[in-house]
Structure formats: structure tokens, C-alpha cells
Structure 1
Amino acid sequence: MTALDLLSGDARLFVEKIWASRTHLHRADTGALVDLLSLDDADALLTSSAIRTPAIRVARDGAVLGQASYTRQATIAGQQLTGLVDPAKALELFRGGATIVFQGLHRYHPPLADLIAELELELGHPCQANAYLTPPGSQGFAVHSDTHDVFVFQTAGSKDWEVHTDDGVEAITMVPGLCLYLPTGTPHAARARETVSLHVTIGINQLTWRGLLRRAVEQVLPPEDHLPAGYLDDPAALRAGLAERLATLAERVGAVDPAQTAAEEVRRFLTGRSPRLRGGLRDALVEVGDDTPLRRRPGRPCVLVPAGEDRIEVLLGDRAVAMPARLRPAMEAIRARTTFRPADLPLGEQARRVLCRRLVREGLLEVVDDVIDTEDTEDTEESR
């Protein structure tokens, strides 16, 4: 099951019929959602992780509270540490009705980091994860709308939501296992019921046609030059110059290659994601041999693009790695398999070991300890 299947129930249906158009409520695998961020996880992050702002914020009655009300200072190795969340202060505010917001969980909580990495590749849009810990009967924020699409799922307790759509106000009680999708701009508010509530919000920071068109046009804009002096008294000079430049721009825009621009957009996305190197320290201690079990890291793309007559680039999410084109068959073999051993690759022994060691360092591959099945597992999606 993919990340989008988990959150929507049917990835293909979501992409074709629901995306950016209407709300959608889905009952998912309760255990799978709770495992992404349980109440115990939230407790550990708040009380035992030395978490700092802005990874935490606190809100009550629709207002965000000042950091001084729940943070403290400390000293590490003689250096001042500010913005450190004081668990006692934060819990006291929580008991008084405040909601604790965990921000940017995709950067520091591994289960959600993995989910976000996979979801970004399925959607082709940047994503983020926040969570809201709300005391019984409390409401963190009044009715509001977000500037991005969201998936919302409950992992502890329950919360009454009001969702404003074109058909009116819909009342939804969110409980663990339910996942709700809200397109950009959907007004909503939520209030915890009689128990502590914890829910996760996945924000989809959607890329737009407007943005892509702007990037395409910027490629052919003329260099900066001055407007004519005195144009306030002679608007005709401004009109003539503008007309000439608009005509030139239209001609240049007409010559833009859509295929090349689209390829550049794909490359931009697949080299701008967050690094994914968890387990890299362990992998660094392993000497990769011909029989070392390896697998592609979940959420890591592996897209091959030509880079000249005898070179290719491998887009890895956070970077592009250049290599000789003769390695393409081996890279295609890696793309086609979830797990394998260097000995499975169509290269000489020394070359395949060097390649695999490099790809482990680059974070595309990780070493696995369990016995693996080296039968091909086809992966035909170019975006992966």
C-alpha cells in the first residue's frame, strides 16, 4: 500500500476524481495511522526530547501564545540555548485548555518523515506534517481556511469538525482510523470531545500552473534595463518601448520548448527534497561485498536522465549524481528491484561493488540484514 492509498483509500481515484476539487472522508487502517504518531510519541517529544521552538507552538482560544510562556534557556558546553520547551510550563498550559502544536514533524519524526517522502513522490508536490494535541473540550483555532490542501487524520481521542463546503456546513466526528482531505481554502474548525485529542495534518504545498508558467517565462525575459527618463511627460515613449518588448517576449515565449521546460521542472523537484540518510552511520560501518543484501531506501527516487553523449544523471531527491552512461544498465536493474545484491548487477565484480558502495554513501541504497528475494520487482513509474 502506498502513502496515498493509505490516506485516500484509492490513489488512482483520488488523483483522477478528488484532487483539488472536493472534500473526501476515508476510513483507513487505524493501526497504520496511529503508528505514525501515537499519544506516547507526542508525550516523548514534548517531555523527553529537548524539543525547541519553532518545532512547538501553543495556542488557546484562537490565539498563539508567546514563546516565553512555555520555553526556557539552558547551557550546553558553555553556550546559551534558547527556545527550549519547558515541559512543566507546556503541560500546565495544556491543562488550562491550550493546544500544543508540533510543527515540521516530517523533519524529525521518522514515521512521518517516511510517509511524507513517499507522498511527495506520488503527488509531485512538497508536503509537510504538523500535529495538534488538544485537551478535552478545547478548540485551538476558530473557523479558518488553509492556503494549501490537507489530509487530516486522528490518532488519539476524538474531535468534532465543522467543514464548510458549497453545500453548507458538514459536521464530522474524527476518530482514529478516519482520514479527511480538504482542498485549498476549505473553511473548517475543530473541537476536542471529552478526551484528549491528537490529530496529524499533512499539508500539501501545491505547485501551480501559474508558478510553472512564471518559471518558463523567466527563462526568456530580457535583461534589466532602464525605463526612459522623462516618460512621465512623454507616455508615448513608454508605450512604444513596451509594445516592442512585449512583441519580442511573445516571440521568445513561442519558441520555449515545453518538453525541455517540463524536464527541468521534474529535475528541480527531484533534486530539491530533504536529505534522507537515516541509518547512514550503520551503513558506513558495513563493508559492501558482492553478497551484501541491499535495498532502495523508501521515499528515494531513482530517475535516470541523459547528461551528454557519454554521461547520465541520477536524480536522488536531494541531489543529482553524474556517472558514465555505461552504468545505465546496472542502474536500470537497481530501479527494477526493491532488494538485490551487487552480484545481481550486469557489471564486473569490482565495478558493481564500487557502484553499490557509492550509492550507499549517496543514500539511495541501504544495507539490510534479513534474507532477501532477488527476483525482479518491476518499478515502471518514471517519477520514482
Structure 2
Amino acid sequence: MGITAADRTFASLIGDTESFFAQHFDRQPLLRRGALADRVGDLVTVDRLDDVLAMQAVSPAYVRLAKNGQGVSSKAYTRTTGDHATGLAETVVPERVYELFRSGATVSWNHLEHLLPPARHLADVFARTFACPAEVVAFLTPAGHDGYAPHHDPVDVFVIQIEGTKDWQVWQPPADRRGDSVRYPADQLGEPALRTTLRPGDVLYLPYGTPHAAAAREQVSLHLSVTVAPRRWRDLLVETVQELVRDEEFHDVPFLGEATARDAADGHRGRTADRYREKVAELCARLTALAADDETERLAEAGRARAGVDRSREFARLAALDALTAEARVRRTEAPVELGASLDGKTSLLVNGHRLAVPDAVADTLRALERGGSLPAGGFLAGAPEDRSVRAARQLARLGVLQAVGRAEA
């Protein structure tokens, strides 16, 4: 069985990861021939893009067109739709997009991961690798036409050729990389560092700020660009400081306004400056005492947990709970649980905004599982029949307190 979009890894796209991060990442382009060979069809096809366009309700935020190296106004391929109940909305008109494509326009689909599950799986691979959101953009260029004029993007770009071929020119990343998208006059860049033709299955990596241009020749060309914007040192340090200053030590409010004559006479502003120096010294002390290993792991987890990175399987999880058996083992999740006092054999429990009363035996089991380990769902409620114990385990699993343990973990 071949590799599918759901189980593709970062290494399957770029090869040896140690070599990539040592020699290419944020340094120089990488061309990997035949990385996906004949396995690109599970990502996206021209037919699937026809299906997306045929939904008749695609927002212009998802579709862009460019012709002769310049963007096409969305007014040329959208219309206003809606009724009295839903209000007005702009939607893409497939017939107008097709007409522009026939006349030489490149069509791009932004955030394809919002529209197609295989693209979402692909975005997940990069989001987990770089601990930041990833976007998948599809570019469909008619035969014999350029896409966009030479430009660079303020993101790292991984190009995957899907159908047809495309000629690429890539220039060396400049020493001074600008943080915005820039287009270049044809005579400004000089000789490209790389000229190549991408064929289905080829992967091309372009570091942040790398000037490039591409054109389709004898066939319609479809490629995906996966873009990521890894956090830089300044971003990570800002996040660390923000986390540290949540402490009550930094919660009081200083006076920074215009001083009155009396305030000036009392040295009010001088006292504020002294207090500021104290706070800076306290922050520096906490930064110095920070456990770097723990903090970098926290930053990585925080990046993976951001909206657009984590792909929840909540419907699937809840559906699987209906098949939870007495023999299936369960354990505590990381969800915070507040156990209150016991009253008439019931203990108050607060989790995810839900407050309920559970038998004391359930509370005791939850406390025991705080230390780790697992137990059969049929024995979760000590002294109770198996079916009742399983029902209790299911209820807490639905609330996110428990999770089923895989066979490898049991």
C-alpha cells in the first residue's frame, strides 16, 4: 500500500531532515527530484479543483487570478448573492474564472486546507514540524503562460509539482531579506542561481525572501505551495517575556502621565523610574533562572496548539466512545479537573465549565489516576456492575476527563 496524504511525513517530502536543517533551511534552495514519484494524486487534482469551484459558494478570499504577471480584480470573476434572510455576500462565478483561465490567467486557491481534507493533512505535517500554522495554496497555470512576475514571499515556501510541468527561475536569497512581498523588474535580479523544470512529484524549497518566477510551457501546470512562517528569535523571546510578566509581581499600575508641580517637587517621576528599574531587574532575574529546555518545549507546544495548527478529531472521538467496552482501558487526560467536597456520597466535580456530582468512588478513582496508569472501563466504578461502570467512564470521556488507551500503551 502506498503512502497517502494522511500518513505522509516531512522527511518523505524533503529527504534527510538533519541535512535539510543543517544545509538548506533559511539558507539556500533545495530541489528534490521525484520526492513523491507517482503519489501526488492523493493530494489534489485538476478534477478536484473543478469540484471546489462548482460548489457555487466559494468566497473570493479563497480564489485569486493573475494575468500577465499582475493580479486580476476580483470584480471580474465574482458576483453578489444572498437573500433577505442571509444578507449579501460575494461569491466566485465559475464561468468567469474559466473564461479568464482560457485567456491566460493563473488561478490560485488560498488556504486549500480549509476546503480539501488531503490539503489539511499536508498542512498538518508542516505545522507539526515548524510549530506554527501552515497554508496550502494551489496554482493552476494555463499552457504557455507565466504565473506571477519575479517576486519574493515573506515566508518559507515548499513547492510540490502535481500535474504538468513548470519552468522555474530561482535567485539566491539576498543578505538583507525584507519582511514583505516584493516584485522585481526583469533587469534587476541578474542571472538566476537555478533554472529548472519541475515535473510531477518534484519538490522545491525556497527560503524566506527568495526571488523566483515560474511559467507553464506545453501543458496546464498544477502545483501546490506550502507556506510556513516559523517564529524567529524575537518572536519566541517576546512570548517568553509575556508568559513571565503574567505574574502578580508585574500587575500593579505605574504613573507615567504629565507630572504636576507637586508631583515633580516630590520626585514622583523619579520614583516611577526607580520602580521600573526594579521591575526590569526582576524580569532579568527570572529570565536568567529560566529552564531553557522546559521553556523551548513549552514554546513548541504552544505553537502546535494555535488555531489553524491542531486538527481536532472530536466527532470521531465521541463516536468511538459509543463502542467503549468493559475491557477497554481508560486513563486521565490533561484536562484540569476540580474535585470539591463530598456530600451524601457524591463529590462535586468541575471540568470544562461543567459542574456535576459524581459518586465518591468515581472521585477516588480520578484521584488515583492523577498519578498515571490506566484501568478497564468496567472497573472504573469500584463495586458497581460493569455496565454501570462503563457508562460512568463514557460520560467522563465525553467531557474530556478520560481517554481510551491504545493497545501499544496498555
Normalising by structure 1, we get a TM-score of: 0.73
Please state whether the residue corresponding to 2:101 is helix, strand or coil: helix
Q: Which residue is equivalent to 2:152? A: 145
Per the alignment, residue 360 of structure 2 pairs with none
Deviation of the 1:118 alpha carbon:
3.3
Counting only pairs closer than 5 Å after superposition, residues 322-337 of structure 1 correspond to structure 2 as 324=366, 326-327=368-369
Q: Which moved more, 1:118-127 or 1:173-182?
A: 118-127
Q: Does 1:198 align with 2:228?
A: no
Query: Paired residue for 2:208?
Result: 184
How far residue 22 of structure 1 moved from its aligned partner, in angstroms, is 2.3
**Given the alignment, which residue of 43, 49, 60 partners 1:53?**
60
Partner of 2:93 in structure 1? 86
Equivalent residue for 2:168?
161
Which structure: larger Rg?
Answer: 2
Question: Deviation of residue 192 (structure 1)?
Answer: 1.1
**Distance (whole Å) between structure 2 residues aligned to residue 160 and residue 293 of structure 1:** 55
The 2-side partners of 1:326 and 1:101 are apart by 54
Which of 260, 273, 276 is residue 245 of structure 1 equivalent to? 276
Helix, strand or coil: the match of 2:152? coil
Give per-residue Cα distances to partners, 1:295-340, cap 9 Å, x unaligned: xxxxxxx997696999xxxxxxxxx99995643577x77xxxxxxx
Helix, strand or coil: the match of 2:159? strand
Distance of aligned partners of 1:11 and 1:327 in 2 relative to their CA distance in 1, 3 Å threshold: farther
| Superposition deviation, residue 346 in structure 1 | 9.0
CA distance in 2, matches of 1:306, 1:48: 39
Corresponding position of 1:175: 199
CA shift digits 1:261-291 (9 cap, x unpaired): 4455345334323463568279549722317
2:332–2:403 contact (8 Å) kept in structure 1: no
Which residue does the alignment assign to 2:135?
128
Question: For residue 13 of structure 1, what is the amino acid of its counterpart?
Answer: S
Aligned to 2:305: 271
Distance 2:154 2:195 in 1: 22
Distance 2:219 2:45 in 1: 15
**Is 1:207 aligned with 2:238?**
no
CA distance in 2 between counterparts of 1:75 and 1:240 reads 61
Residue segments in structure 1 that go unaligned for 5+ positions in a row? 295-301, 311-319, 334-341, 367-373, 379-384
> What is the CA–CA distance in structure 2 between the aligned matches of 1:118 and 1:284, rounded to whole Å?
25
Report the count of equivalent residues. 344
Check conservation: 2:162, 2:199, Cα contact below 8 A: yes
Residues of 2 paired with 1:149 and 1:303: CA distance? 39
Task: Tell me what 2:324 maps to.
Answer: 289
Q: Secondary structure at the match of 1:30?
A: coil
Deviation of 1:45 after TM superposition, in Å, equals 0.9
Q: Which amino acid aligns with 1:217?
A: V
* Residue 17 of structure 2, aligned match among 7, 11, 17: 11
Does residue 1:226 correspond to 2:256, yes or no?
A: yes
Match for residue 41 of structure 2? 34
Letter in 2 for 1:192: A
TM-score by structure 2 length? 0.69
* Preserved contact between residue 377 and residue 393 of structure 2 (Cα < 8 Å): no
How far the C-alpha of 1:242 sits from its partner, in A, is 5.4
- Residue 190 to residue 353, structure 1, CA distance change in 2 (3 Å): farther
Contact 2:123 2:136 in 1 (8 A): yes
Task: Give how far 1:127 is off.
Answer: 1.1
Q: Is the alpha carbon distance of 1:304 and 1:282 closer, same or farther for their aligned partners in structure 2, counting shifts above 3 Å?
A: closer
Matches of 2:241 and 2:169, distance apart in 1: 41
Structure 2: stretches of 5+ with no match in the other structure = 1-6, 174-190, 340-351, 355-362
Structure 1 residue 99 corresponds to structure 2 residue 95: no
Residue 255 of structure 1 is matched in structure 2 by 286
Two-structure CA RMSD over aligned residues (Å): 4.4
Displacement, 1:216? 2.6
Give the drift of 1:54: 0.4
**In terms of mean alpha carbon deviation, does 175-184 or 18-27 score higher?**
18-27
In structure 2, relative to structure 1, the CA distance for the partners of 1:58 and 1:170 (3 Å cut) is: same
Structure 1 residues 235-274: Cα deviation after superposition (integer angstroms, max 9, x where no partner): x998996587346414422223533644553453343234
Q: Is the 8 A contact 1:228 1:238 kept in 2?
A: no
- Structure-2 change in CA distance of 1:250 and 1:212 (3 Å): farther
Question: What is the percentage of aligned positions where both structures have the same residue?
Answer: 27
1:102-147, Cα deviation, whole Å (9 max, x unpaired): 0111222101112222332233222111111111122221111111
Letter in 1 for 2:36: D
Q: Is the 8 A contact 1:228 1:237 kept in 2?
A: no
Is the alpha carbon distance of 1:246 and 1:285 closer, same or farther for their aligned partners in structure 2, counting shifts above 3 Å? Answer: closer
Q: CA deviation at 1:347?
A: 5.3
CA distance 1:215–1:283, shift in 2 (3 Å):
closer
Change in CA separation of 1:278 and 1:269 when aligned onto 2, cut-off 3 Å: same
Matched residue of 2:256: which SS? coil
